DNA sequence: GTAATTGCAAATACTTTGCCACGTA
DNA sequence: TACGTGGCAAAGTATTTGCAATTAC
């Protein structure tokens, strides 16, 4: 499972994507930031703003999500968030409803057992989950 | 805690909202459906379509969310979903990524202990969480 | 050479607001 | 009467698509 840009690009190539500057920069940006980012953030980021159009970033994210390299998250904002799917690095998030800050939850995710149960009980496939905590952060309180 | 329309309306009134036809019908619709609904669904529903404008439903939902009577959910769709906050009826959802169907998870939510821990550890206030499972439902598989 | 990818601009989708009329308390 | 509420229409924000030009393989 990929943990650096070259591995990610290899993975993309093996799934049929072409190695373009935009793809490289997008993957680097996501990898470096280590947090979910919106399309607008990504397209406006240092590495991408002079590299390609927002539509290109959009379509790249779309392809990456199709291939299971990136995940699209809700996180309650109007804009969608995107994050890399990295090996064994499932994250839950703690989000301030006032300032919108997003931080990863440090504790291990308590949902895996239930996910397993749902998989067996319901027959749903490709199961994954999204868990977010919302509240007022100490700064905003 | 409210479980029927009259109780809900009382709660609204005690929080300063006026008793209008639109409010009544909106609360009834949410209560009857028992599942999260989008603004478009609500405004187009039988009880509301001839009752009031979509903007009115929007502003009602906004007020209800402010007062803590309704919760706005992400659920990965482009449109936001709204659901009543009913006593002791926290729900997690199982969502098909193909057809978009949303069903409540029957099993009890396994997250309360972690939520408590986060409350104590981080100092976040008014904490709540949202847990969704995504996958391909048996029909779509 | 060929099919995937891109830029630009336009179209969609959903949400949000302004303003004045109206209804509830 | 006074202020919350409602309708209608317009503006805002984010996403998505069409098409011709370009680029990776």
Q: What is the pLDDT of residues B45-71, one digit of tens each?
A: 999 999 999 999 999 999 999 999 999
Q: Are B57 and B3 members of one domain?
A: yes
Q: Are A76 and A100 members of one domain?
A: no
Cα-Cα end-to-end distance for chain A: 40
Task: Give pLDDT tens digits along chain A (141 positions).
Answer: 456 899 999 999 999 999 999 999 999 999 999 899 999 999 999 999 999 999 999 999 999 999 999 999 988 889 999 999 987 778 899 999 888 889 999 888 999 999 999 999 999 998 999 999 999 999 888
DSSP character at residue B94: E
Element (H, E) at A72: strand A70-73
Q: Are B59 and B121 members of one domain?
A: no
User: Which of B67, B88, B109 marks a domain boundary?
Assistant: B88
Give the whole-angstrom CA distance, residue B50 versus residue B36: 21
Give the whole-angstrom CA distance, residue A32 versus residue A53: 20
Q: Are strands A93-96 and A125-136 parallel, antiparallel or unpaired?
A: parallel
Q: Are A107 and A127 members of one domain?
A: yes
Asked if B13 CB < 7 A from strand C, the reply is yes
Could you say which nucleotides of strand D lie within 7 A of any protein CB atom? 4-10, 13-18, 23-25
Q: CATH code at A111?
A: 3.30.1490.190
Q: Residue A99: its chain B contacts at CB < 8 A?
A: none
> Which of A96, A105, A111 has the CB atom closest to B118's CB atom?
A105
> Which of B126, B131, B134 has the CB atom closest to A111's CB atom?
B131
Which of the 52-91 residues on chain B come under 7 Å of nucleic strand C at their beta carbon? Answer: 54-55, 58-59, 62, 78-80
């Amino acid at each position: 499972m990929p943990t650096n840009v070259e591995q990610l690009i290899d993975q993309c190539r093996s799934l049929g994507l072409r190695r373009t500057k935009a793809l490289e920069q997008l993957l680097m940006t996501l990898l470096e930031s280590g947090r979910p980012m919106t399309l607008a953030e990504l397209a406006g980021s240092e590495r991408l703003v002079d590299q390609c159009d927002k539509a290109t970033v959009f379509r790249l994210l779309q392809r990456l999500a199709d291939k299971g390299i990136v995940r699209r998250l809700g996180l309650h904002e109007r804009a969608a968030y995107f994050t890399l799917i990295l090996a064994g690095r499932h994250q839950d998030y703690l989000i301030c409803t006032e300032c919108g800050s997003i931080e990863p939850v440090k504790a291990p995710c308590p949902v895996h057992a239930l996910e397993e149960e749902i998989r067996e009980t319901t027959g749903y496939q490709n199961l994954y989950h999204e868990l977010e905590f919302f509240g007022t952060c100490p700064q905003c309180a």
